[in-house]
Amino acid sequence: MPKPLQNKTALVTGASKGLGKAIAMRLARDGAAVVVNYASDKAGAEDAVYQIVKGGGRAYALQGDISKVANIRKMFVDMEKAGFKSVDILINNAGVYPAGGLEDATEEIFDRIFDVNVKGLLFTTQEAVKRMPEGGRIVNISTDLVRVSVPAISVYSSSKGAVNVMTQDFAAALGSRRITVNAVSPGLTMTEGTSGMMTDSEWVVGYVKDTALGRMAEPRDIADVVAFLCTDDARWVTAQIIEASGGYRLGAEK
C-alpha cells in the first residue's frame, strides 16, 4: 500500500531538534523525501537524517540561517544542486523565542525574533512557491500564546500573530494553484528549547492544570497534526489556524 506522501519532497526549517525534528521524521515515515534545514546545529540535523535513512527513508541535511534573505536564496540553490528541484511541502518551523516584553525588550531582541519568525518565514515561502507544483502544502508553526497574555514574551507572541495573518493571506494568494496554507498552533510542548522553564515552574503547573487532557504536549503530538495537513485528506482545509493545545483553558478545576 503506498504511503500518503510517497514521491513528495518536504522542506522542514529548523529541523535539527525538537518539534522540527519530530515533524521531519514523521513526514519521512509517511514517504516524503525530507530536506532537514538547520542554522547551526549540524550534528542534530545529521542525526535526524541518520534516523530517517535508518528507517528506510530519504533525507538530506541543509544549512541555512533564514534570518537573511541572501541565505534563503542560497539554501534553495543548494537544494537544487542536491537534486531537490521542487518542493511539494514546506513546513515553516524555524523560530526563536527569547524573552522580551514592554519593559525589557531591546532592539536586538526584536530584530532577532522578527528576522527569523516573520521575515524568514515570508521569504522562505516566497522562494518555495516558485518551485512548488499545484496541490502543494504549506504549514506554518504558530503558538497558542497569541491568545494568552504572557507579557514577558510579548515580542515573540506578536511575531506569531504576524504568522497567523500571513497564513491566511498566503492561502488566499495561492488558492488558485490548489496550494493549501495552514498554521498549527501548539500549546506548551516539551522540547530542548522549553526544557529550561519546565522544572517546578508555577506557570507550567498552572498551564497543565488548565489543559483538558492534563499534560504538556510531546513533539510527536504536534507532528501528527502537521502530517495530516500535508496529505490529500486535508485538500479542503486551508487558511486555518489549527490549535493543538490539548484543550488549553478547558481544564477542569482540580
- Is 106 a domain residue? yes
Active site residue 156: yes
* Cβ 246 vs Cβ 187: under 8 Å: yes
- Is 157 a domain residue? yes
Cα–Cα distances (Å) from 201 to 152, 196, 204, 247, in that order, read 15, 10, 5, 20
pLDDT of residue 208: 87
pLDDT tens, N- to C-terminus, the chain (254 residues) = 889 999 999 999 999 999 999 999 999 999 999 999 999 999 999 999 999 999 999 999 999 999 999 999 999 999 999 999 999 999 999 999 888 899 999 999 999 999 999 999 999 999 999 999 999 999 999 999 898 888 888 999 999 999 999 999 999 999 999 999 999 999 989 887 665 555 557 878 888 888 999 999 999 999 999 999 999 999 999 999 999 999 988 654 54
* φ/ψ of residue 138, rounded to 5: -125, 125
- Is 250 a domain residue? no
One-letter amino acid at 101 equals: G
Cα-to-chain-centroid distance, residue 53: 22
pTM summary value: 0.94
CATH number of 236's domain: 3.40.50.720
- Is 26 a domain residue? yes
One-letter amino acid at 45 equals: A
Contacts 24+ apart (CB under 8 A), 173-177: 174/129, 174/136, 174/138, 175/238, 177/132, 177/134, 177/135, 177/136
Contacts 24+ apart (CB under 8 A), 65-70: 65/39, 65/40, 66/13, 66/37, 66/39, 66/94, 66/116, 66/120, 66/121, 66/123, 66/124, 67/39, 67/112, 67/115, 67/116, 67/119, 67/120, 68/115, 69/119, 69/123
- Is 4 a domain residue? no
Task: Kindly name the residue from 60, 156, 207, 248 that is annotated as catalytic.
Answer: 156
Q: Give the number of domains in the chain.
A: 1
Q: Name the residue range of residue 193's domain.
A: 9-244
